[in-house]
Amino acid sequence: MASPQAKAIVTELERKLTPLGPFRAKPMFSGYGLYLDGVIFGLVLRENFYLKVDDQNRPDFVKAKSQPFRYETRKGEVTVDSYWRCPSKVMAAAGTLQEWVEKSVAASRRIGAKKKPRPSKPRPRRNPLL
């Protein structure tokens, strides 16, 4: 179940990002997956907001001294380099936030275009005698 802080972040994002198109937040793990026009661009987990990152927009996050998404497991820390924390100064300004989100949507589309489509599973043959 999502925390009250995560719900508050989603409410703020919805207000600021509505001009970009249909915004949707789907419950996911202990937070939300964030979508714009059906494309995932970010995550809200606990009190943190993360944006989708690839090689083209990663320099913006490095320059802002942001960090990638990390979590702990029994075997140690795991870093997810495809999502980085949104800097607070970006979150504070709606126009800047919209620019960063548009870059994250583009990153998500580029990453999706590189993936090979999943092979469809063959349907089981029906017994014509039944």
Coil, helix or strand for 68? strand
Tokens of 20: 């970009």
71: part of which helix (H) or strand (E)? strand 68-73
Q: Are 69 and 79 contacting, i.e. CB atoms less than 8 angstroms apart?
A: yes
pLDDT band per the 50, 70, 90 thresholds, residue 81? very high
Q: What is the pLDDT of residue 130?
A: 56
Question: Is the confidence at residue 82, as pLDDT, over 90?
Answer: yes
pTM above 0.75, yes or no: yes
DSSP 3-state assignment of 82? strand
The token pair at 120 is 């469809």
R_g over Cα of the chain = 18
pLDDT of 22 above 90: yes
Q: What is the pLDDT of residues 45-75, one digit of tens each?
A: 988 999 999 999 999 999 999 999 999 999 9
What pLDDT digit, counting tens, does each position of 32-41 carry?
999 999 999 9
